[in-house]
Structure 1
Amino acid sequence: MVAASAEARILDAALVIPPPPTPFGAYVEATEVGSLLILSGMLPVVGHVPLYIGRIGSELSVADGYDAARTACLSGLSAARAHLGSLDRVRTVAKLGVYIAAVDDFREHPKVADGASELLLSVFGETRLPPRIVLGVSSIPLGMPVEVELILEIDR
């Protein structure tokens, strides 16, 4: 049995991929290095508008953080699709990094990061679920609570 393609999984799950993000500064959203597509840090924005502002455990809840991580990851998928033409060119997710702006005594980082991980699971399937790093930080650009880093192995 052939596994469903990423694009088919997106349709089946009725996922809405936002328009591709545009840079907030002097950088590009994606670049290819050999068989890797390296994406810039993705923020929880749609159309250059932040959907969440604040830190997890203060202004925002774990559920807000989960959704912010999912939203940032959706932006990453959108940037990848715009660069590649189709997410079906993704062979595997080589790395997921989730950076979380949280209060000092926050301990629920994995629950927030699951917003990105579970989205990738639904799009690419269990066999392409990536390793990840989850870090708590004191701040993220523009006051947002989450930044997601993705490195994808692609078909050339």
Structure 2
Amino acid sequence: MTKKSVEEVLQELGFELPQVPAPAGEYIPAKAIGDLVYVSGQGPIRNGEPVYVGRVGAEVSLEDGYKAAQLSVLNCLAALKDVIGSLDAVEEIVQVRGFVSSAPNFYDQPAVINGASELLVKLFGERGRHARAAIGTSVLPRNIPVEVELVVKIRHTPKAKGVVKCGEDWEKA
């Protein structure tokens, strides 16, 4: 029996990787340094437009906030794949940092960011378990309700852009 690829599991769960959203400023969506990839904050954007807008606990329900976190982490994975070539090169998800634009009396930011965390564990199994922060904030760019960042440890892959392994040392290509 052959092992399923991460993208096959993603499809079985009813998801697909979106196109990498264009940066909203002077930065890149993801950057590999050695065997770590830092993925810039991604929101619930599809085809260049926010799918969800507003603050969780006001204009956005907890359930829609959870879905916004799922879409945000899918955008993170798309940026990651663009750098490393294949999500199967992920050794482990190291950290998730989630920001939740919250109404003044909303205190369930961890439940919102669970949308990202639970999807990562479904996709990667134990390799998807990670350290995490779920931070409430008053506003996010473009009035999106959620933004997610990742730090990911990768295995060497010949498809990785800008990363070369030389013996035991990694260096920027």
Please report the RMSD computed on the Cα atoms of aligned residues, expressed in angstroms: 1.6
CA–CA distance in structure 2, aligned partners of residues 39 and 27 of structure 1: 11
Counterpart for residue 134 of structure 2: 134
- Structure 2 gaps, min length 5: 157-173
CA–CA distance in structure 2, aligned partners of residues 38 and 135 of structure 1: 18
**1:112 offset after TM fit, Å?**
0.6
Q: Would you say the 8 A contact 1:5–1:124 is kept in 2? A: no
**1:126 offset after TM fit, Å?**
3.0
**1:6 offset after TM fit, Å?**
2.0
CA–CA distance in structure 2, aligned partners of residues 40 and 124 of structure 1: 20
Give the AA of the match of 2:79. Answer: A
CA–CA distance in structure 2, aligned partners of residues 129 and 22 of structure 1: 28
1:9-88 alignment runs, 5 A limit:
9-88=9-88
Do residues 7 (structure 1) and 15 (structure 2) align? no
Q: TM-score, normalised by structure 2?
A: 0.84
CA–CA distance in structure 1, aligned partners of residues 96 and 4 of structure 2: 22
Q: Which structure has greater strand proportion?
A: 2
The higher radius of gyration belongs to: 2
The alignment of Structure 1 onto Structure 2 pairs a total of residues equal to 156
What's the % identity of the aligned pairs?
37
Q: TM-score, normalised by structure 1?
A: 0.93
Give the AA of the match of 2:137. Answer: V
**1:128 offset after TM fit, Å?**
2.8
- Structure 1 gaps, min length 5: none
